[in-house]
């Protein structure tokens, strides 16, 4: 009996210790990530100032000049246009799913959203090459009188917008569902129509949540790699319109890992690109999270 | 009257948005299956690439299928033995410490959003630091880091719903916190946890950016952790960049294989989560 008791206690101690180790590891993980990337990219600061790195267009790895502006602009263009496409679609879809849809339709749309969310990014890339790229070069570009092979900012943005739809949509559905039903019922009982209730009560109440969901989507889109890389064209230039090819930051990292060790400091430059992504995404997510927390309090 | 028109206008926008989402999924599946099914055959599934495979000669992508499975099973296993205890710790040991708990959830949400390419770059740094080559092991470590926050957050969401009374009843009967964690709280939400693990597995098998630097690529099937391993997403990516049409068609076929694997995982977890909702108190 005593031995048994002893065993249980030992077991408890070992497992508690393991849990503590694991949770400590998880808590310091973001700091290790940041520190590791910073350490590897710090060599870059010897020759280039931070301002030069972020705002210079000169990209000449062979003479040690690393200006990331072209790549940052590539990322900004693709992300921004993707959000323009997917934000309205997500808001309208989330409204109809939470306010108007019948049970029967929910049983279809929820698995659809889940499958879209689960498809790997390379699959979206393949779809982009088969469908989106030819569609742009054969249909959309001629309408605007532009000439393009189709591998363009617009192709990247369309593929990206489809990828982040399930992500934003899930957050929005969650947000609309947590708004107390009494609020909408009160509005309806005062004689407002369904649409008036949605416009003046539901959406008004959800504004911080809607902003946050779009912010999370932005952060998500900013770091997406493979799918964008496959359709965006990858030419080192600052895009002037949506039919130009671009070169976003993640694509820069993914495309050049092969040559990384052959040019001095090139590996530091790629790690710096990863560091930019890391910082932007973390800051964005932190801000949005705080927005939601604050709005929950009221 | 204007009100009525406004409502109709916005209702139709909602309808269009919904239709677009359904249409896009159908279009993705249809276009890839249409291109891929014609090139998909038994050989693709059961053979490694032979000499000249990348010029259109015979062979298959067995190396990538097996490599992907090894990698994701390894990473999911590691993430489970780290992640599930963390989620249990949060919901059994820390359940009363709201502030600490909120802080941990906040941190987890932050790293949850870090893009996989950043994990890839970090994994590479780690590899250089530890002095290991591109290998299955390096890939597994990187992917583990990548899916760990996803798994913990998913498990946490499930465990959060387990009633406090259950926990207190178990503790008051004299069980240790470990027994309460693993025999009561975990068992209560078991199918939910399995769903979370499957979700992470799906993430692991579909991600390409994090293994690009770390797992390498090879035409043979890895026999030890120190050998490089091919993965399905990367194999699709490489085959697609070939100028030879036959090889491109095989890329589409490989995409079909990947989609089918993902769909099976999704179906399994759907069935399990139904069971979970039925059984919980």
Specify whether A146 is located in the same domain as A39: no
Specify whether A175 is located in the same domain as A108: yes
Domain-embedded: residue B237: yes
CB contact under 8 A, A8 and B179: yes
At residue B218, the pLDDT reads 82
Tally the domains of chain A.
2
Domain containing A117: what range? 52-297
Specify whether B92 is located in the same domain as B19: no
- Average pLDDT of chain A is 88
Specify whether B26 is located in the same domain as B135: no
3-state secondary structure of A198: helix
- Other C-beta atoms closer than 10 Å to the C-beta of A260 total 17
Domain containing B19: what range? 2-37
Distance CA B45, CA B66 (A): 10
CB contact under 8 A, A112 and B25: yes
Specify whether B10 is located in the same domain as B132: no
What is the value of ipTM here, to two decimals?
Answer: 0.91
Whether A3 has a pLDDT exceeding 70, the answer reads no
CA distance B223 to chain A (A): 24
- Chain B residues touching residue A273 (CB < 8 angstroms): 121
Specify whether A10 is located in the same domain as A158: no
Contacts of B165 (CB under 8 A, 6+ apart): none
Q: Which of A22, A88, A122 sits opposite B85 (nearest CB)?
A: A22
Specify whether B16 is located in the same domain as B111: no
At residue B13, the pLDDT reads 93
Interface membership of B85 toward A (CB under 8 Å) = yes
Q: Read off the pLDDT band of B271 (50, 70, 90).
A: confident
CATH of the domain at A118: 1.10.3720.10
Whether A152 has a pLDDT exceeding 50, the answer reads yes
Residues A85/A228, Cβ–Cβ less than 8 Å: no
> A115 vs A72, A167, B11, B22, B253, CA distance in Å?
31, 11, 25, 11, 19
> Which of A25, A130, A284 should be substituted to probe chain B, the one whose Cβ sees the most B Cβ atoms within 10 Å?
A130
CA distance B28 to chain A (A): 6
Distance CA A166, CA A220 (A): 12
> Which of B114, B182, B277 should be substituted to probe chain A, the one whose Cβ sees the most A Cβ atoms within 10 Å?
B114
Residue of chain A nearest B127, judged by CA positions: A36
Specify whether A67 is located in the same domain as A81: yes
Specify whether B71 is located in the same domain as B31: no
- Chain A residues touching residue B236 (CB < 8 angstroms): 122-123, 126
Whether B154 has a pLDDT exceeding 90, the answer reads yes
Read off the pLDDT of residues A184-226 as tens digits, 9 standing for 90 and up. Answer: 889 989 988 888 888 888 998 899 899 999 999 999 999 898 8
Higher pLDDT, B218 or A159: A159
Size of interface A-B (CB pairs under 8 A): 247
Specify whether B137 is located in the same domain as B269: yes
Q: What is the mean pLDDT of residues A7-13?
A: 86
CB contact under 8 A, A89 and B17: yes
Q: What is the mean pLDDT of residues A19-37?
A: 93
Residues A250/A244, Cβ–Cβ less than 8 Å: no
At residue B4, the pLDDT reads 84
Specify whether A67 is located in the same domain as A115: yes
- Helices A2-41 and A266-297: angle between axes, nearest 10 degrees: 120
Q: Which of B25, B35, B206 sits opposite A116 (nearest CB)?
A: B25
> Which of A32, A39, A123 should be substituted to probe chain B, the one whose Cβ sees the most B Cβ atoms within 10 Å?
A123
Give the H or E element holding residue B269.
helix B245-279
Domain-embedded: residue B49: no
Q: Read off the pLDDT band of B45 (50, 70, 90).
A: confident
Read off the pLDDT of residues B1-42 as tens digits, 9 standing for 90 and up. Answer: 788 888 899 999 999 999 999 999 999 999 999 988 888 888
Specify whether B227 is located in the same domain as B92: yes
- Other C-beta atoms closer than 10 Å to the C-beta of A84 total 11
Specify whether A217 is located in the same domain as A102: yes
CA distance A269 to chain B (A): 11
Q: Which of residues 44-103 of A touch B (CB under 8 A)?
A: 88-90, 92-93, 95-97, 100
Q: What is the mean pLDDT of residues B149-153?
A: 94
- Chain A residues touching residue B118 (CB < 8 angstroms): 33, 37, 223, 274, 277-278, 281
Higher pLDDT, A56 or B65: B65
Specify whether B128 is located in the same domain as B16: no
Domain-embedded: residue B44: no
Specify whether B16 is located in the same domain as B105: no
∠ at Cα B20 (B14, B25), nearest 5°? 140
At residue A5, the pLDDT reads 56
Whether A298 has a pLDDT exceeding 50, the answer reads no
At residue B20, the pLDDT reads 95
Specify whether B101 is located in the same domain as B240: yes
Residues B143/B207, Cβ–Cβ less than 8 Å: yes
Specify whether A194 is located in the same domain as A61: yes
Q: Read off the pLDDT band of A157 (50, 70, 90).
A: very high
CA distance B156 to chain A (A): 13
- The lowest-confidence range among A177-191, B46-60, B122-136 is B46-60
Whether B280 has a pLDDT exceeding 80, the answer reads no
Q: For chain B, how big is the Rg over CA atoms in Å? A: 23
Domain-embedded: residue B170: yes
Read off the pLDDT of residues B157-216 as tens digits, 9 standing for 90 and up. Answer: 999 988 888 889 999 998 888 888 888 888 888 888 999 999 999 999 998 888 888 888
For A90-126, give one letter per residue: b (16+ CB within 10 A) or e: bbbbbbbbbeebeeeeeeebeebbebbbbbbbbbbbb
Specify whether A236 is located in the same domain as A142: yes
- Chain A residues touching residue B14 (CB < 8 angstroms): 92-93, 95-96, 100
Q: What is the mean pLDDT of residues A85-108?
A: 92
At residue A57, the pLDDT reads 80
Specify whether A76 is located in the same domain as A16: no
Specify whether B218 is located in the same domain as B110: yes
Interface membership of B118 toward A (CB under 8 Å) = yes
- Average pLDDT of chain B is 88
Specify whether A130 is located in the same domain as A40: no
- The lowest-confidence range among A96-100, B12-16, B59-63, B105-109 is B59-63
∠ at Cα A246 (A248, A155), nearest 5°? 100
Q: What is the mean pLDDT of residues B205-228?
A: 86
Higher pLDDT, A205 or A58: A205
Residue of chain A nearest B149, judged by CA positions: A26
Specify whether A269 is located in the same domain as A185: yes
Whether A112 has a pLDDT exceeding 90, the answer reads yes
- Residue A119: φ, ψ to 5°: -65, 135
CA atoms within 13 A on the CB side of A35: 5
Specify whether B62 is located in the same domain as B31: no
Domain-embedded: residue B50: no
Work out the percent of chain A whose per-residue pLDDT is above 70. Answer: 95
At residue B67, the pLDDT reads 92
Q: Read off the pLDDT band of A1 (50, 70, 90).
A: very low
Specify whether A37 is located in the same domain as A160: no
CB contact under 8 A, A119 and B35: no
CB contact under 8 A, B114 and A111: no
CB contact under 8 A, A123 and B266: no
Q: What is the mean pLDDT of residues B232-248?
A: 88
CATH of the domain at B120: 1.10.3720.10
Classify residue B202 as left (phi > 0), alpha (psi -120 to 50) or beta.
Answer: alpha
Higher pLDDT, A91 or B1: A91
Tally the domains of chain B.
2
- Chain A residues touching residue B176 (CB < 8 angstroms): 8-9, 11-12
Domain-embedded: residue B192: yes
């Amino acid at each position: 009996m005593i031995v048994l008791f002893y065993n249980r206690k030992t077991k408890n101690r070992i497992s508690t210790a393991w849990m503590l180790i694991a949770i400590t590891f998880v808590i310091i993980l973001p700091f290790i990530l940041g520190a590791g990337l910073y350490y590897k990219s710090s060599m870059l600061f010897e020759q280039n100032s931070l301002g030069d790195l972020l705002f210079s267009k000169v990209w000449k790895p062979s003479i040690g000049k690393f200006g990331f502006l072209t790549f940052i602009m590539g990322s900004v263009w693709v992300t921004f246009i993707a959000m323009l496409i997917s934000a309205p679609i997500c808001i309208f879809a989330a409204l109809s799913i939470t306010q108007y849809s019948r049970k029967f339709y929910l049983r279809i749309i929820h698995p659809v959203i889940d499958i879209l969310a689960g498809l790997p990014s390379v699959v979206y890339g393949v779809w982009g090459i088969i469908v989106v790229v030819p569609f742009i070069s054969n249909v959309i570009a001629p309408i605007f009188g532009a000439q393009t092979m189709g591998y363009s900012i617009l192709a990247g943005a369309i593929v990206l917008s489809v990828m982040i739809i399930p992500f934003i949509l899930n957050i929005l559905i969650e947000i609309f569902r947590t708004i107390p039903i009494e609020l909408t019922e009160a509005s309806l009982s005062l004689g407002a129509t369904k649409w008036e209730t949605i416009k003046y009560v539901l959406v008004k109440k959800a504004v911080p949540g809607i902003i946050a969901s779009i912010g999370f989507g932005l952060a998500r889109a900013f770091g997406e790699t493979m799918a964008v890389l496959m359709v965006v064209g990858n030419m080192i230039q600052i895009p002037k319109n949506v039919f130009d090819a671009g070169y976003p930051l993640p694509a820069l990292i993914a495309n050049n890992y092969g040559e990384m060790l052959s040019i001095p400091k090139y590996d530091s430059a790629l790690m710096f690109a990863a560091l930019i992504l890391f910082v932007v995404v973390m800051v964005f997510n932190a801000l949005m999270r705080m927005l939601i927390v604050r709005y929950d309090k009221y | 009257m204007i009100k009525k028109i406004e409502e109709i206008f916005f209702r139709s926008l909602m309808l269009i948005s919904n239709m677009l989402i359904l249409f896009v999924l159908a279009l993705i599946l249809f276009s890839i299956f249409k291109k891929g099914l014609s090139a998909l055959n038994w050989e693709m599934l059961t053979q490694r690439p032979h000499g000249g495979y990348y010029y259109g000669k015979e062979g298959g992508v067995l190396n990538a299928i097996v490599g992907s499975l090894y990698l994701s099973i390894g990473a999911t296993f590691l993430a489970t033995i780290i992640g599930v205890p963390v989620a249990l710790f949060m919901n059994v040991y820390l359940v009363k410490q709201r502030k600490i708990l909120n802080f941990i959830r906040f941190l987890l949400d932050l790293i949850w959003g870090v893009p996989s390419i950043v994990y890839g770059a970090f994994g590479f740094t780690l590899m250089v630091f530890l002095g290991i080559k591109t290998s299955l092991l390096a890939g597994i470590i990187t992917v583990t880091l990548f899916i760990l926050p996803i798994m913990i957050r998913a498990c946490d969401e499930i465990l959060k719903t387990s009633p406090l009374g259950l926990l207190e009843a178990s503790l008051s009967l004299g069980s240790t916190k470990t027994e309460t964690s693993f025999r009561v709280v975990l068992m209560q939400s078991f199918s939910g946890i399995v769903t979370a693990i499957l979700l992470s597995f799906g993430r692991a098998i579909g991600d390409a950016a994090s293994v690009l630097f770390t797992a390498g690529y090879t035409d043979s099937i890895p026999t030890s952790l120190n050998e490089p391993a091919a993965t399905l997403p990367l194999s699709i990516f490489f085959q697609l960049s070939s100028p030879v049409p036959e090889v491109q068609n095989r890329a589409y076929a490989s995409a079909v294989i990947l989609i089918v694997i993902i769909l099976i995982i999704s179906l399994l977890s759907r069935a399990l989560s139904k069971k979970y909702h039925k059984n919980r108190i």
